[in-house]
Amino acid sequence: MTVALSAKEVAAKLEQQLPSGIIESNEGSILVNSEFLPDIIAFLKTTPEFDFDYLNYITAVDYLDYFELVYQLTSMNHNHSLVIKTRCYGRENPSVPSIVDLFVAANPQEREIYDLMGIRFEGHPNLKRMFLWEGFEGHPQRKDYL
């Protein structure tokens, strides 16, 4: 059975490494500061105690004040999983660092989020529209589209 790791314990361990990264943590997920996202995920990937080598999904939700990005990581060796969330504010040009260097699986999913939600990912090698054509105006998945 894949154990969903207790976010509070993981957050406590992460606090020792990167003290300013974690904003808060409840039972289900850890909310991190978006600037420290690649460092935190790299730490979780390389530490043998956690060994998160598989990215389940990346998704974005539009709460009208902010966008929330949700990442789920799983370790196949230890069979445990963790959910990480981060927020980005602003409707004009929100942006978040990209984790394409760590996980190739992030490449198409980040392009999709840019196309449909309008969130830019810094460091992505090929950030352009994927599902809709160049010249399409607007980002359809946002709550204020149509």
Partner 1 sequence: MAIRTEPFVMNMGPVHPSTHGVYRMRLTLDGEVIIDIEPVVGYLHRGIEKLAEERTWTGVIPLTDRLDYISSMSNNLAYVLAVEKLAGIEVPERADYLRVIMAELQRISNHLVAVGSFFNDSGAYYTPFLQMYREREKIVDLFEMVCGQRLTYNYMRIGGVSQDVPDEFIPALYKLLDQLPSAIDTFDTFLKENEILLARAKGVGILPPDMAINSGVTGPVLRGSGVAWDLRKADPYSIYDRFEFDIPTGEAGDSYDRYRIRIEEMRQSLRILNQAVRQLPSGPVKADVPHLIRPPVGDAYAHIEAPKGELGFYVVSDNSISPYRCHIRPTSLLNLAALREMAIGWKIADLVLIFGSIDICLGEVDR
Partner 2 sequence: MEIERPGDFIYSDTDVDLYEGQAIEELKANSRVPIPDPDEWLDEEIQQNILLTTVDWVLNWGRRSSPWVSLCFPACCAFEFIAAMGPRFDISRFGMEILRASPRQADLMITAGTLTWKHAPNIRRIYNQMAEPKWVIAMGACAVSGGIFRSGYNVVPGYNHIIPVDVYIPGCPPRPESLIQGIQMLQEKIAKRKNFA
Residue from the set 65, 104, 143, 144 that interacts with partner 2 by CB under 8 A: 104
> How many C-beta atoms lie closer than 10 Å to residue 122's C-beta?
10
Q: Where are the alpha helices (DSSP H) in 1-146?
A: 7-17, 37-46, 106-117
Tell me whether strands 80-89 and 3-4 are parallel, antiparallel or unpaired. Answer: parallel
Tell me which residues in 71-100 interact with partner 1 (CB under 8 A): 72, 76, 79, 83
Largest Cα–Cα separation, the chain:
47
57 touches partner 2 by CB under 8 A: no
Nearer to partner 1, 19 or 128 (CB): 128
Of 77-96, which residues contact partner 2 (CB under 8 A)?
Answer: none
Q: Name the minimum Å distance from CB 37 to partner 1.
A: 18
Per-residue binding letters, 105-144, with partner 1 (x by CB under 8 A)? x-xxx--x---x-------------xxxx------xx---
Question: Is 12 in a helix, a strand, or coil?
Answer: helix
> Of these partners, partner 1, partner 2, none, which one is at the site of residue 23 (CB under 5 to 8 Å by kind)?
none
Helices 7-17/37-46 angle, 10° precision? 100
> Are 61 and 67 contacting, i.e. CB atoms less than 8 angstroms apart?
yes
Cα gap 35→16, rounded to integer Å: 17
Site residues (CB under 8 A) for partner 1? Answer: 1-2, 53-57, 59, 61-62, 70, 72, 76, 79, 83, 103-105, 107-109, 112, 116, 130-133, 140-141
